Structure formats: C-alpha cells, structure tokens
Amino acid sequence: MTGAASTAGPALQGGPHAAAPVRHHGAPLAEAAGAVILVHGRGATSEGILNLAEELGRKDLAYLAPQAAGTTWYPQSFLAPRAANEPGLSSGLALLERMIDDLGQAGVEPERVALVGFSQGACLVLESVARHPRRYGAVAGLTGGLIGPPGEVLEPGGNLAGTPVFLGSGDPDPHVPWGRVEETARLLRGAGAEVELERYPGRPHTVSRNEVERVGELLRRMAPVDRAPVPS
C-alpha cells in the first residue's frame, strides 16, 4: 500500500479509543468526491484494512481508517450483553460519530460518506448507523451484524432515508451467525435502508472478491466516476 499517512484523531471524552490514530489514504478531503471510513476487525490494523482502498481503485475518494486501542474495539463477542463490552463499545461508537462530524465540517456531508467494516469493525459500523440513522452515502457490513444478545438488538429509532446497505457473510461463520445478519437486514430495511443481502455458503472468515466488487458498486452509486466537476 502506498500514500498512507498516520495522524492522531481528535481526543474524545474518555474511553480506550479516545486518542485513536486515523490513517488517511487517497484524495485530500478538499478534492475528494466522497469519503470512505474503513473499520478493521479484531486483532487487525487500520493499515491492513486500507488495503481495500487499493483493491477498490478509486483514487478520487478519501479513505480514513481508525486504529482501535490494542487492535480490539470491544473485548467480548458482539452477542454478549452490551455492558460486558464497555467502555470499548461506547468509545468506538463515539469515535465514528466524531469522524463523521469532522468530515461534515470539512465539507463532506454524510450523503457522501461510506462506512465499511469487516467482522468486529462491521458490527461497530452497523451499530453506529442504527444509533444515528440518517442518509449515508453507503454502508457495508462484511461479516457482521447489530450488537447485543438475542432479544436485545437495537432497532433504529429514525429514518435511514434510502441509504444503500450491503451485508455479506459466510455461512456458517465461526463468529457471526447467519440469523443475526438476516435480522440486521430486516431491521435496517424497516428503518428505510435499501439493503442487499448476500450469503456465501462455506466461505471462511475473510473478505471475498465478490464483496469487494459489491462495495465498489456502492461507491459508484455514491460518487459516480464520470460525475461532472463542480464549477468554481
């Protein structure tokens, strides 16, 4: 991977991810057609998930990847009681919301922001979207679902206003039951998202080439490659 630079994220009010570094790859925000927030999985790194930027090949987009403290956003399974995953869970969610707010202040509104996560990162992305429903440019949960034990999954309390969402997962997966992915799709559709759901029978816990292509399609919808330049 080339062109990535590490910068310190803004301090949040406490929590393990309060001073999370954020790596930036691709176009400068002032020139970008849109922004993509990439959220890594448990035990992984921001640099690792930024490899997706290379695979997607969209040099006109800005890619931002935060780094979890200790490479883990929260300690337990995403199916554990929420209290068991604090303070990491709330701290990670606050970080994503702060990043979206900062992008808005830089002139990149949520309608031009895509959130993409894998595994634990996918769960964090989907939980963030459910807690802060609005129109996003795109959302992709690659092997993940809404956080919480059975019967206590958060139902979005607002309107996602047609946000394109892609959910893909192997089945069976050692960490993410397919039933939770389906439940997540149902709840997000109920909140107004346009959800595409893809099951990959027997696929290991990884990101497939097809999923990369599906994310690329979402980004083309958010920021068409042949869009006309904005007059100065």
Q: Tens digit of pLDDT for each residue in 117-143?
A: 999 999 999 999 999 999 999 999 999
The model's pLDDT over 72-92, given as tens digits with 9 standing for 90+, comes to 999 999 999 999 999 999 999
Q: Residue 148 falls within a domain, yes or no?
A: yes
pLDDT for the residue 5: 39
In this model, does residue 227 exceed pLDDT 80?
A: no
| CA distance linking residue 37 with residue 125, whole number of Å | 9
| CA distance linking residue 60 with residue 216, whole number of Å | 13
Q: Residue 185 falls within a domain, yes or no?
A: yes
- Residue 124 belongs to domain with CATH number: 3.40.50.1820
Name the β-bridge partners of 36. 63, 114
Q: Residue 17 falls within a domain, yes or no?
A: yes
Sign of CA dihedral 127, 91, 177, 118: positive
Asked if residues 223 and 112 have their Cβ atoms less than 8 Å apart, the reply is yes
Q: Residue 232 falls within a domain, yes or no?
A: no
Q: Residue 231 falls within a domain, yes or no?
A: no
Q: Residue 227 falls within a domain, yes or no?
A: no
The model's pLDDT over 153-195, given as tens digits with 9 standing for 90+, comes to 989 999 999 999 999 999 999 999 999 999 999 999 999 999 9
Q: Residue 50 falls within a domain, yes or no?
A: yes
pTM recorded for the entire structure: 0.92
| CA distance linking residue 25 with residue 57, whole number of Å | 12
In this model, does residue 218 exceed pLDDT 80?
A: yes
| CA distance linking residue 230 with residue 117, whole number of Å | 30
Q: Residue 230 falls within a domain, yes or no?
A: no
Peptide bond between residue 231 and the one before it cis (omega within 30 degrees of 0): no
Element (H, E) at 190: helix 178-190
The structure tokens listed for 97 are 């919301």
The domain total for the chain is 1
Domain of residue 43 covers 5-222
Nearest to 192 by CA among 113, 128, 133, 112: 133
